[in-house]
Amino acid sequence: MHYWHERKKGFKLKLSFIIFIIVFFSVAATFTLNTLVSFNTQKSSLTNNTLDMNLITAGEISQTTNTILLSMQDSLEAAAEFISDGGSGNQKSAQHQVDFLRASVPYFNSVVLVDSSGTVTAASPEELDIKGSRLTSVQSREALAEKRPLVSDPYMSLTKHMIVLASYPVYSSDGLYMGFVGGTIYLQESNVFQKLLGQQRVNENGSYFYVVDADGNLIFHPEAARIGENVSGNPAVKELLSGRSGKMELTNTLGTSYLAGYSVVPATGWGIIFQTPTENVGDSVDNVISRMALISVPLLVLLLLLALFVSHRLASPINRLASAASRLKRGDATVRELPEARSMIFEAKVLYDTVSAALRTLDERAEVYSRQARTDVLTGLRNRRRMEAIVEDWASQRVPFSVIMIDIDHFKQVNDTFGHQNGDETLRYVAGILVEEKGSMDQCCRYGGEEFAILLPWRSAEQAFELAERIRIRTENGNSPTGQVLTVSLGISEFPAFASDAKALFKQADEALYAAKDGGRNRAVIHRPGKNDALK
């Protein structure tokens, strides 16, 4: 098949080739544009989700660490009270108390009782052989000087261990300072923090966490050789040293880019940083786009082959006409051999329909991607991004509307008791009730987690309350996926009657929702300026 025709003045492209080239570049441009849009959307979404999840994970580790530290202080406080009440009246009793504390509390590698001069009067285990020794470390002197509960920064102890010292002051019954009882944690040996923080692996996606003390020194890190290194120049560590938790994309002290979530441990001022390499997020997006391409490219190839066939068929009468004209010029043919021209109209329509079908197919795929970006995958409701766009549009046009915030009561218990699959079914079940009960113009959205929102244009808070009650009653009396009674709490506010902007509107609806929960759950509350009236 020849796509060009040679003449004395040069090459001339044939019509079929020109049509095919036009179709090819149209399809290629549309596919490229859709791929770029999908890539940017997926990358932005995955980046934000990774930052959110890393912040949540860092917060959970921080909360667990803080709880353990507070529990340590409670244990030391109980021991200090016993000693204060006369439990340290003799050496045997003091030794028994520190032995009991170390054996009964799983936090400490060793326990010491120190008098007001800094001399160790009892130590467990006794194999430490430090009884009668005087503590001279800065941390020990600080505990004696401050005379209050403390958790020290890591330091090298008298027994040549890298430790953290948790101390609690001991006072006599008449208020005389007697010293302190202290529990030590050996950072380089098996201990509660090693189990929680020190024994970790880098996840498959490259995520890991590390811990810094209040001065920015590494306490825990997957690379043990880096423990003790000062990383206060890290942007996230700077935020932690200022007492702030949060999330950010950063470049660490080694020049590597990460998506980091970070959280402060209140009891000590330590910081937890959980981070994922930024390049791994890009790799994940590349994998998604590659899978999309594997699905799309075969279809595109078929469409292009069809376009090639149609373009050839469309140009065939013209080619025959040109060939016949050449033969006529040479005297090798007659006029009766010329093809009929009216067949060209049909073939042009076929080509037009083919190109249109190809472009429609690609546009439909783009619409599918766009719809997926606006829809919550689990429930099929509009997602939070789409909800915010609707609210912004209505607010800018000053359309009066009400909002109902819905939260499934005790949803965590559903997940914990019946599993996450039943939890997902419960979310879909509640979403189905919302869709069936809403009005034709109302917009049902998934706000996040077990929270939903309904936007009601041109409807007052009282009208929204009627819908909220129908939803509440139907949910309570319905057959939930778990077979248990399921209830919801609802908060209602109205724009612009109660709130002047969208931010204030959702804040009011949240306050009403929390008022419903504080009032016993399974109720709807309308936000009123200055008060919340629970209407069940």
Catalytic residues: 450
Contact 490, 406 (CB under 8 A): yes
The DSSP letter of residue 335 is G
Other CB atoms within a 10 A radius of the CB of residue 455 amount to: 22
DSSP run (H or E) holding 489: strand 488-495
Q: Locate 244 and state its tokens.
A: 């702030």
Distance (Å, whole) CA 270 – CA 427: 38
Q: How would you label 114-131 residue by residue, b for 16+ Cβ within 10 Å and e otherwise?
A: bbeebebbbbbeeebebb
Beta-sheet strand order (sheet of 246-251) = 218-220, 208-212, 270-277, 257-265, 246-251
The answer to whether 450 and 376 are in contact (CB under 8 A) is no
- Helix axis angle, 411-418 to 420-437, nearest 10°: 140
**How far is Cα 122 from Cα 77, in angstroms, rounded to an integer?**
17
Angle at 317 between CA 314 and CA 318, to 5 degrees: 90
Both tokens assigned to 362: 């690609």
Question: What are the residues facing 12 on neighbouring strands?
Answer: 5
DSSP assignment of 416-480: HHH-HHHHHHHHHHHHHHHHHHS-TT-EEEEEETTEEEEEEET--HHHHHHHHHHHHHHHHHS--
Q: How many CA atoms lie within 13 A of 474 on its CB side?
A: 16
Tokens at residue 221, please?
């890190």
> If phi over 0 gives left and psi between -120 and 50 gives alpha, with beta otherwise, what is residue 228?
left
Integer Cα distance of 433 and 163 in angstroms: 57
Map tokens 């051999």 to a residue.
337
Give me 114's structure tokens.
Answer: 């120190």
Of 265, 139, 273, nearest to 214 by C-alpha is 265
Rg (alpha carbons) of the chain, rounded to whole number: 36
Closest residue by Cα to residue 227 from 268, 261, 193, 277: 193
